[in-house]
Amino acid sequence: MSTPGDLIDALRAALGADHVLTADRHDLTGFEQDWRRRARGRALAVARPGTTDEVAAVVRACAAAGVSLVPQGGNTGLVVGSVPDDSGQQVVLSLQRLNRVRALDRANLTLTVEAGCVLQAVQETAEAAGLLFPLSLAAEGSCTIGGNLATNAGGTQVLRYGNARDLCLGLEVVTASGDIWHGLSGLRKDNTGYDLRDLFIGSEGTLGVITAATLKLFPRPAATLTAWAAVPSMQAAVDLLGLAQQRLAAGLTGFEVMGRFALSLVACHLPQLRVPLWQDHPYCVLLENSDSEGEAHARGAFEGLLEAALERGLVSDAVVAESMAQAQALWHIREGIPLAQAEEGLNIKHDISLPVSRIPAFCDETDARLSREIPGVRLVNFGHLGDGNLHYNVQAPAGGDARAFLAEQEARVNQLVYDAVAAHGGSISAEHGVGSLKAACLPHYKDPVALDLMRAVKAALDPAGRLNPGRVLA
Ligand SMILES: Cc1cc2nc3c(=O)[nH]c(=O)nc-3n(C[C@H](O)[C@H](O)[C@H](O)COP(=O)(O)OP(=O)(O)OC[C@H]3O[C@@H](n4cnc5c(N)ncnc54)[C@H](O)[C@@H]3O)c2cc1C
């Protein structure tokens, strides 16, 4: 029977000693602790393969030793899915060294990259070719394309281009048995049976290890303009979205909503970011218009939209960024909300989605219920309204002990919010995934037949349960 030491020797033989890290020789904090510092596990070792064959060798060695694996990209996930448990028995399989660009096909508008490529590097590779890879999120300087696909990441351009799933045409995957599935197709049509690609995308490392992907590219817009609008209510924000979709059609590439308290935290904790129009309005909206004709056309369409919205009372006040720098400053405010929230203290995060039409009623009812049942509670409500996705977060009452508040109230707050989400036909995870953070509550909110089918898929693809156990399915 092999010992943990035998496995580490086998991994060193397969990858070279420099690419197998252990706690006695290395600081493993960056691999063992999650981004939000909600969990710190202990790894038996961190394996850092540099090729797909080496990934397969690691998977086979761990299978032979009966040891489970935790695939990890940039470790920026928000649901505790990419770090080991505290048993000290799991191997972290870091994909960061698999970071080569394999091919760019201009005529086919595709880019094939390895899983450890950082998202920003993928965007820059596309840009250098005069093309666009539109996936964009605040963690793009650290997260990897493998992690983005494993979590089916969303971000700020979903409204126009879709989630990571919609941006991927093919995958290369190492299966739980250590085989390699060569599925790097650049085909937009392929009806030859079950869509395995869609099975692995969003599976959070529980069904296979993504080692490379063929991604869709797009022509770059001729001009991109950003506007900031104050709106009198969430209903007005939803009505403005409808008007913007009607007037700008596919040009509407971003539509973000931010509540007044969320913006007050940015104004307080990130004073270098000057937040416009936030004090006197319950919500502000950030709109992005990407135009294939040019700046004058984009500005004309944007100004026409905002004038119509002002006339109808959907917008109380608005500014259109005059330069790229101003546009970036507005986006920094939106992206600064999670940081400002962290500066304010511990909080309870909810990444939820709802039919857009139900969002005003959901917010009215849930805001009121939370305030009634948990006096002093502060709501940090913001998100990708165009996708029906809210980050509906709950901050502890001002001046109190936030840690004690979380210990006492987190389960109650979660239940209250998730029950309301379910009542309005929504989902308890819009874009961050399930990880281990939401695995226990999934059975309360997921259709039981869907859960059984998911368990059957897991059993078929990973019968020994060695890939990221306890994640997604508890
Ligand atoms: C500041 C910030 C902003 C964010 N904003 C957004 C946002 O707007 N939209 C959004 O959707 N998400 C957002 N996220 C969370 C988002 O899920 C991650 O940033 C990203 O998609 C994860 O990529 P990663 O490489 O860091 O993956 P990791 O965190 O390393 O892993 C995430 C999950 O994927 C699995 N995994 C990783 N790589 C592989 C692989 N190659 N094969 C199989 N499984 C793998 C892991 O086991 C884990 O379950 C944000 C995170 C941060 C910190």
Q: Per-residue pLDDT tens for 117-164? A: 999 999 999 999 999 999 999 899 999 999 999 999 999 999 999 999
pLDDT given for residue 120 in this prediction: 98
Mean pLDDT of 290-315: 94
Per-residue pLDDT at 400: 87
Binding site membership of 83 for ligand 1 (Cβ less than 6 Å): no
Q: Which residue's alpha carbon is at the smallest distance from atom 52 of ligand 1? A: 139
Structure tokens at 266: 């940015």
Average pLDDT over residues 22-50: 95
- Ligand 1 contact via 154 beta carbon (within 6 Å): yes
Which atom, in ligand 1's list, is nearest to the CA of 203? 44
Give the mean pLDDT of the chain: 96
In this prediction, what percent of the chain has a pLDDT beyond 70? 100
H helix and E strand count, the chain: 15, 19
Distance between CA atoms of residues 213 and 100, nearest Å:
11
Query: What region does 202 belong to: left with phi over 0, alpha with psi -120 to 50, or beta?
Result: left
Residue 268: pLDDT band (50, 70, 90) is very high
Residue with tokens 């770059």: 220
- Rounded to whole angstroms, the Cα distance separating 115 from 117 reads 6
pLDDT of residue 36: 85
Cβ atoms of 41 and 49 within 8 Å: the answer is no
Atom of ligand 1 nearest to the CA of 471: 49
69 lines ligand 1 (CB under 6 A): no
pLDDT in tens, 404-462: 999 999 999 999 999 999 999 999 999 999 999 999 999 999 999 999 999 999 999 99
Looking at the predicted structure, is the pLDDT value of residue 393 above 70?
A: yes
**CA 263 from chain center: how many Å?**
21
Q: What is the pLDDT of residue 369?
A: 96
pLDDT digits (tens, 9 = 90+) for 193-241: 999 999 999 999 999 999 999 999 999 999 999 999 999 999 999 999 9
**299 in Cβ contact with 320 (< 8 Å):** yes
**Given this model, what pLDDT does residue 37 score?**
85
* The pLDDT of residue 38: 83
pLDDT at 1 over 80: no
- Please tell me the predicted confidence (pLDDT) of residue 45: 98
The residue whose CA is least distant from atom 7 of ligand 1 is: 155
State residue 2's pLDDT score.
78
pLDDT at position 426 is 98
Query: Mean per-residue pLDDT for 371-381?
Result: 94
Residue 187, number of CB atoms within 10 A of its CB: 12
What is each CA distance from 300 to 32, 254, 255, in whole angstroms?
51, 18, 18
Residue 425 has, within 13 A of its CA and on its CB side, a CA count of 7
Query: Each residue of 42-51: pLDDT tens digit?
Result: 999 999 999 9
Q: Is the pLDDT of residue 167 over 90?
A: yes
Question: How far apart, in whole angstroms, are the C-alpha atoms of residue 431 and residue 166?
Answer: 13
Q: What pTM does this model have?
A: 0.96
Mutation choice for ligand 1 from 32, 135, 137, 339, CB with most ligand atoms inside 8 A: 137
pLDDT at residue 20 is higher than 60: yes
What's the pLDDT at 171?
A: 98
Which ranges in 16-51 belong to alpha helices (H)? 29-32
Residues in the chain: 474
Question: Mean pLDDT over residues 266-272, rounded?
Answer: 96
Query: pLDDT band for position 346 (50/70/90)?
Result: confident
Ligand 1 atom nearest residue 149's Cα = 21
HSE-CB at 343 with a 13 A cutoff on CA atoms is: 14
Q: How far is the CA of 74 from the centre of ligand 1 (A)?
A: 7
